[in-house]
Structure 1
């Protein structure tokens, strides 16, 4: 059993490296080399005046695909996101999608590639801006036909740069202010989430772990911080500045995860996370776990959560992490 898990993990890391190398080969080579938080130097190819963030983009949230293999950590800008989605990708590894509406950090990354199921997830927003490093070449036409603003380095080289301290492909970073003229505001988070007092009941909870075949997330309640401290693959998750990642609410959303029509260089099919439908969920807030159900009848609508005893399931004010876990059959 242990030998099989080790083999899967080694194969997963090899898969991530090969896919990442292929995708980043197409990235613009003109990005400056600078630290993840350094805004003092411009890219070698400075943007023309027409490259400024369009005013219409200010009414849309920014979604960024973020690398989450060990070589990509610590990440930059994740703590500023309003919502962080965690999904399973090839080889049983994980990837993050951070959504920004109430504030824009100076830098976000490392930025990585998009997946087919991201398009379904993002339809709940009004023409969101999607920042990603690239995608499988057969998927790119689908991305550009989706109701969003696709902004990879091929579309907006002026918004990206190569950071120091990490090897490619784990060193591509984004300047959000070069894609959006300002934070669009909380009203653009059309996810269906509701915030307010916790319902009655719940079970005291100090720690919850969600496992993928080659990755895991652990959320530990900290009464001192009043938040859930995140650990990834058994190690504390911190920002590039050393601060712990600590959401106020964690949602474990049980969904169907199937194979998509796309695969990586080794022939492994890309998982497709179905976020339209309904199912069970667990909501962690205030040191307690609440059984809940989720429902999203159509791709253009948000996701509603109800407490097990009926009534809406409120989230605590602050950052929300949604971890997609495979529903038991």
Structure 2
């Protein structure tokens, strides 16, 4: 399957730019997602960077391990854009493998280790680091540096085309709760020096996000939440690169296959993920059948298997 032929699903009417969900909940490839213009932004995720701005507007949020066992986010926007997003931080090798599933996305970031920057320059994407677009980046006085760099996406020109980024990444959607799974209202994913918690709110129909034991909030004080959470167990290994302090950068391998846990509608599904090549999206299955996400934002956490 080529980069323009993702395995995708029909989306709920709640998602911008998409039609309804078919009765069987599986759907077909969404034409609006093929070749969609998307914006990915690297987001700081240490305590001093929180609360973040704009990531509640993302269709898809990836959480990955970085140096020192800490975490960093990559928010991917397709159906809508915030006025401001951040704090923006540097890119990693893991991001490049993820982004190859999309069709020449725009990547906004604050820099990268020198050899990683060479890989970014050679990658099939539009790179817009800090300083490359007039008026796009600014420093806020509300947080200390380096946790205060923000992006105005509207200053980058046309970066999105209205398609849902999670669909372009290969995920299927259906309003109907899939059969199977187990009731479950809480899930914790631990990195060596970071922790993600997800708590189901039946009233809001969302998994509320916590980070390092504290509720994760938007800049406006609302709770960050996802309709679906995918805990994807991957190989996490030392990469060839390190940060300026000499710490080795972890590399999360997102091509291959393995175990996943999908959280939706207050239930947990022991699933399988598969991504056959860099250019393909990620498919989730349960007992060999496609497993659909709930309409709404998707968070994917890469846990070490």
TM range (shorter): 0.7 to 0.9
Q: Which has the larger radius of gyration?
A: 1
Q: Which runs of 5+ in 2 are unaligned?
A: 1-34
Paired residues of 1:198 and 1:313 also in contact (CA < 8 A): no
Q: Which runs of 5+ in 1 are unaligned?
A: 1-57
Paired residues of 2:106 and 2:159 also in contact (CA < 8 A): no
Asked which structure has the greater RCO (Cα within 8 Å, sep 6+), the reply is 2
Q: 2:197 aligns with which of 209, 214, 218?
A: 218
Q: 2:294 aligns with which of 304, 307, 316?
A: 316
User: What is residue 281 of structure 1 aligned with on the other side?
Assistant: 260
User: What is residue 25 of structure 1 aligned with on the other side?
Assistant: none
Structure 1 or 2: more strand by fraction: 2
Give the ranges of 4+ consecutive aligned residues of structure 1 lying more than 3 Å apart after TM superposition. none
User: What is residue 25 of structure 2 aligned with on the other side?
Assistant: none
1:187 and 1:253 mapped to 2: Cα distance?
20
Structure 1 or 2: more helix by fraction: 1
CA RMSD of aligned residues (A): 1.3
Taking structure 1 as the reference length, the TM-score comes to 0.80
Paired residues of 2:94 and 2:252 also in contact (CA < 8 A): yes
Within-5 A mapping of 1:4-15:
none
Secondary structure, aligned partner of 1:217: strand
Give CA-to-partner distance per residue, 1:29-62, whole Å, 9 cap, x none.
Answer: xxxxxxxxxxxxxxxxxxxxxxxxxxxxx95100
1:193 lines up with 2:171 in the alignment: yes
Give CA-to-partner distance per residue, 1:85-108, whole Å, 9 cap, x none.
Answer: 000000000000000000000000
Per-residue deviation at 1:257?
0.4
Q: 2:99 aligns with which of 119, 122, 134?
A: 122
Taking structure 2 as the reference length, the TM-score comes to 0.86
Q: 1:74 aligns with which of 51, 55, 77?
A: 51
Within-5 A mapping of 1:139-150:
139-150=116-127
2:164 and 2:194 mapped to 1: Cα distance?
33
Distance 1:187 1:319, change over 3 A: closer
User: What is residue 228 of structure 1 aligned with on the other side?
Assistant: 207
